[in-house]
Structure 1
């Protein structure tokens, strides 16, 4: 029999797995405060150093919220928390922003198609109201950027897939960070026109139409972003686009 090397598992990683099991079973729920460090380490049978390493990992993953002077609390991971480990990569390598946009183009057209198929009365009303609000807001408005994000959230919710919803929350959070770092928010009537075409297709429950309208919108976003990057490389003022 050939000898095989067994990969050692760090104690901190074992602690992470145990605590994640507690999250899944409901022993730890959002809003709950963790026991004191000494007590929790004794309960798990590990050193406080290993426990601290595990808690740092879980905080990065969005499961914990360490509050200075007030203890550590359980939280529900959201898009912002899940995006944290990737933000350094986006800052360090601008190409990653382009890759994120490409990934979004692979995913969101199918989300729009699913939203068209699974549209609820509540989603129909939300999309109609979103379009009205977008049309009422002035161009280049920060409010328009937030309404844009809300529009995409409604589509993701109507798609009815919680995994997709969380992925898109993370993706949009990363793109929001890219915009804040590299591209000042700049809403445009062209974006709202794109959104209207998507909404009309979804309201008609036209899967193919919704898919094509979203793909065309994201193609335009990617092209606008590429032009903006070129502008950044040249001297002078740089009016830049929205990535919502």
Structure 2
């Protein structure tokens, strides 16, 4: 039996209309939306329904509700976009493993694209990133923060806005996952793998960048503490790294 289509809630319709106004620049990023009284009158909607619309847009990362100050337009970022997925990872090792495997499917191709699109001025950024990692290593620190920054640099070098946003969301999720399933402390290995990836990208070697990134992510997946992470994905080469897990 065909189920009747659900009629959208009024708050959802208003949220869609507000999103159109945001995307067309009527309410640009950083601006404050008009007062609730004005908007509720404009859309002929109650303040309660308008607040529901605001909460919907906030969940999507398009607005920020500041108590006592108003509602401001913002640009969605990886941290905001990752919010709906965080509950999925909590207490579900397979979901966390799927996240790592998805990263392994995506990032080698991003590294290869970075090697195609790299420009001479990118050399300084990669050099500075690796230097910060060496400094952290010298202080005996983990490379978690610098690791995320390094992978962000690669995605920016690739220059694809969609993958940049997707990987930003993944990195936000991984920042929490590191404290549970990825607690290892092998910054020496992480740095060596990052140096290999950077060399291939800066040399304009897509195949080398792809292989180096795949080996690095195989190391992360294979040595995580997640159940079922001991076998590489079909078609993936065995990682060439020591048995302890990298940062």
Same fold judged by TM-score > 0.5? Answer: yes
Per-residue CA deviations over 1:157-210 (Å, capped at 9, x if unaligned) read: 011111110110000000111223554473521111111111111111001110
- Whole-angstrom CA distance in 1 between matches of 2:21 and 2:150: 35
Task: Return the alpha-carbon distance in structure 2 between the equivalents of residues 31 and 242 of structure 1.
Answer: 39
- Aligned counterpart, 1:180: 179
Match of 1:104 in 2: 103
Change (3 A) 1:137 1:218: same
Kept in 2: contact 1:141–1:187 (CA 8 A): no
- Partner of 1:66, secondary structure, is strand
Residue 236 of structure 1 is matched in structure 2 by none
Asked whether the 8 Å contact 1:179–1:242 carries over to 2, the reply is no
Aligned length: 229
Cα deviation per residue 1:106-129 (whole Å; 9 max; x = unaligned)? 110010000000002232221122
Say if 2:219 and 2:246, in contact at 8 Å, map to a contact too: no
Partners of 2:153 and 2:135 in 1: CA distance: 19
1:237 match: none
For the residues of structure 2 that align with 1:41 and 1:6, how far apart are their CA atoms?
27
Instruction: Give the drift of 1:41.
Output: 1.2
Pick the structure with more helix per residue.
Answer: 1
Judge which range, 193-202 or 174-183, deviates more.
Answer: 174-183
Change (3 A) 1:118 1:138: same
For the residue of structure 2 that corresponds to 1:65, the secondary structure is strand
- Counterpart position of 1:166: 165
Equivalent residue number for residue 210 of structure 1: 209
Matches within 5 A, 1:2-151: 5-138=4-137, 141-142=141-142, 144-151=143-150
* Residues 176, 145 of structure 1: alpha-carbon distance in 2 compared, 3 angstrom cutoff: same
SS at match of 1:121: coil
SS class of match (2:29): coil
Contact 2:93 2:226 in 1 (8 A): no
Q: Secondary structure at the match of 2:179?
A: helix
Change (3 A) 1:42 1:181: farther
Gaps of 5+ in 1: 231-239
Structure 1 residue 6, shift from structure 2 partner: 4.6
Kindly report the root-mean-square deviation, in angstroms, between the aligned alpha carbons of the 2 structures: 2.1
What's 1:235 paired with?
Answer: none
Distance 1:72 1:185 in 2: 41
Q: CA–CA distance in 2 between the matches of 1:16 and 1:185?
A: 43
Pick which of 28-37 and 54-63 moved more: 28-37
Instruction: Give the TM-score normalised by the residue count of structure 1.
Output: 0.86
Partners of 1:58 and 1:187 in 2: CA distance: 40
- TM-score, structure 2 length as denominator? 0.85
Distance verdict in 2 for CA 1:242–1:68, change over 3 Å = farther
